[in-house]
Structure 1
Amino acid sequence: MPRESIPKGLKEKILDEYDHRCAVCGGDRPHLHHIDEDATNNIEKNLLPLCPNCHLRDQHNPTRKVDIPKLNLFRNFKDPSILRPQFHPIYVRQRFLDDVEVNVEPVQDLERKSNELIEFVASLEMGDFYSKRIKELIGRPNRAFVYSFGGGRDAAFERLMSRARKDYRQQLFDNNQYVKELLIELLRYQGWANS
């Protein structure tokens, strides 16, 4: 695909946003990297300034697959801890939130993944506080169980359960961004994030 030139005004805006430094290491002379690796996609959220070393080492290493959603997360929050290997277990556990709207995973699987993320967060420094808040956002609400005494199928009960599954999916979708904000905020309290 032919490379399109990045408009000068957009280039300056992004470089100014990062103080004309590499977004990863703070080095000089950054290049603008296309996060999705499409050189024609010159939208602001797809461009990230990287110094020559970070651009070559981290982004164009043929043995390492670029994780585009992780780079997007980094672009949105500008926290270098996102690119550290120690963040990866958190990252992997929260990824399901990005696919809730398009994924047809059974709600039980979504609930299991939510619980795993909440439990993992609880094990981290300051995790008690953050896991409780995240549970309020993506934990499955307590359900009252209703039994059908007539035997056979209960259409009203099935509609109620279908609505509850749809509501839970919507809850996960609606709270995706806020959960990510809490996860990134939690990084401040991790010893590895500041070293």
Structure 2
Amino acid sequence: MSTKHPRPDDNPWVFSTRELGRRPGTQRTVQRTVPAPDGDAEIGLAGVITIPGGSDVELDLSFESVTEGVYVSGTAHARLEGECSRCLDPISDEVDIRIGELFAYPDSATEETTDADEIPRLVEERIDLTQQVRDAVVTDLPMAPLCTPDCPGLCAGCGARWADLPPDHGHETLDPRWAALTERLPTTE
């Protein structure tokens, strides 16, 4: 029994460069809407803010053949979902990122003089943009997203949202060093 492996053409994040050949200056543009990866491959900061798996990522790209490979430039647009880092309310936003990446041809001087983790490679005249979009989105995301710039967060004493509490809300805190003294002194009521 053989396991069917998906062809690269089945992955909407993979683009063919065959029609560009290796003719520097040849260019083509592509607009494509692709589903965001989900699960472990989700794009964003897991547990903080991400592009929801399966949601649309709109790509507007230009592929240009250059001497050493194919230069990909353009933009990606997607919806973000996460939670406010102060009050934990759900938030949603949108992200627009710029992409600019050279994919080296096999047997080019660039391929021979760089590591694969420095400059990505064309594989069988195809480019997989998943990692480039992921890297661009993650570097553009806030590390601590907020629902509003002045979000007051949560009360440290009870965990309620400060925005929902009355202005005079507070908790009496007693310095533990004085706790034994309060047990010996009479209370006045």
Largest Rg, 1 or 2: 2
Considering the TM-score relative to the shorter chain, is it more than 0.5? no
Q: Which has the higher contact order (CA 8 A, sep 6+)?
A: 2
Report the TM-score when normalising by structure 2: 0.22
Give the TM-score of the pair, scaled to structure 1: 0.22
